[in-house]
Amino acid sequence: MLHFEHKFDAKIGKRAEEKIEEVFKAMQKERNSGKIGYYNLPQNGFDLLKEVEDYKKKNSLLKENSIRDVVVIGIGGSSLGTKAVYELLKDQVKTKKRLYFLENVDPLDITRTLKKINKNKALFIVISKSGSTIETTSIFKYIMEKYKFSFKNKEDMKKFIAITDKGSALSMLADKNGIKQFNIPLNVGGRFSVLSAVGIVPLSLVDIDIKGVLKGAKEFVDSFFEEKENNLLDKAYFYSKSAKNFPINVMFTYSSLFNYFNQWYVQLWAESLGKINKFGENVGLTPIHLIGSVDQHSFLQLIIQGPKNKTVTIIKIEDFKKPVKVPKLSLDFLEKVDYINGHKFNKLINAECEATYETIVDENIPADCISLDKITAENIGSLILYYELLTSAVGQFLEINTYDQPGVEFGKIKLVKKFTK
């Protein structure tokens, strides 16, 4: 279960209420028209799960349980969300299977990752919505050559899955060579695609409770459209209304397991909201992600006494379900810290979280706290939908196209020119 607490003044008067209602109806229209498809992924995901289970029965390598390493070849929206869910939930699964990610064309990272993979027990998932992402296709080519895989060998092709838009270049390659493919809905953008085949397929193959993730996501999106999550719209209104005074949004998560979730949030927030609005103005909100308690000893100083141009969201885990305690051990010269002896680390990290939050609020910095009672598949699904819906709502308030990324495309055009002059 998620609990929300806001410590900022959204000043919700009559005009604000009208604007919030207008944005809510615009999001309803997006959902009902089918123009924007991520709203319906939690519901549709259960059918996709059945398709994955059917594939596992038909692929002899999976049926015989000979696959141990599942390797995602993808970048950005094709990997970040999946990596986030995997990192948060992998310790709750008893399996020998492991999920690896080849996303950066850093040759050192590629080499290091492949050293961990057993070619004979590996299945490679090539993910590209467009079907021609340069980083993804380059790594795909390298894998084919390094391991001497052949498109003519049917057994080799059992080691690959393609996840892409139907009819893309990658889709056509898969069709031609008998590679199993799963398709991303055309109305779902990459950074909103974690609950499509992009995330469901690889996470299912390593036994993550994706059904629980979908359940939590569906419950939250349903709750939102039943108008039970007004706190989300109030926050989106405040963010957009105060964007010039508070252009930086800090996510401060109190668990190291959230590191990749934070990276997913950064892409979702930055790529969706950094735009030119309908009036020709450059708008956007800058995401920064921090991990507590580590970043209390660095970035917190800037938040407290630096420019007051930031909002802060604290994400807290009430119960880590790990009874690890600080030993009742007194060390010479360090007796002054013995007050913590015998207490659980769970209590320590949450006390630090609460102290940080209280300090931020005391300094009149706009802040809110999202508490998870514990790390579960359902809670993570809810949190994913919370941030996707929040992003859409802020985009509506900013009067931008939340779902395109023309600035990214400019860079891609320049890259092609560097290799085709």
> Could you list the active site residues?
271, 297, 412
Q: How far is CA 266 from CA 7, 261, 271, 380, in A?
A: 22, 9, 8, 17
Helix, strand, coil content of the chain in percent (nearest 5): 55, 15, 30
How many angstroms separate the CA atoms of 193 and 184, rounded?
8
Half-sphere exposure of 306 (CA within 13 A, CB side): 11
Question: What contacts 24+ positions apart, CB below 8 Å, involve 226-230?
Answer: 227/24, 229/386, 229/389, 230/20
Q: What is the DSSP letter of 117?
A: -
Quickly tell me which residue has 């895989």 as its tokens.
149
- 371 beta partners: 3, 316
Collapse the DSSP code of 36 into the 3-class scheme (helix H, G, I; strand E, B; otherwise coil) and give the result.
coil
Short-list 398, 410, 396, CA closest to 28: 396
What the block records as the tokens of 202 is 């690889």
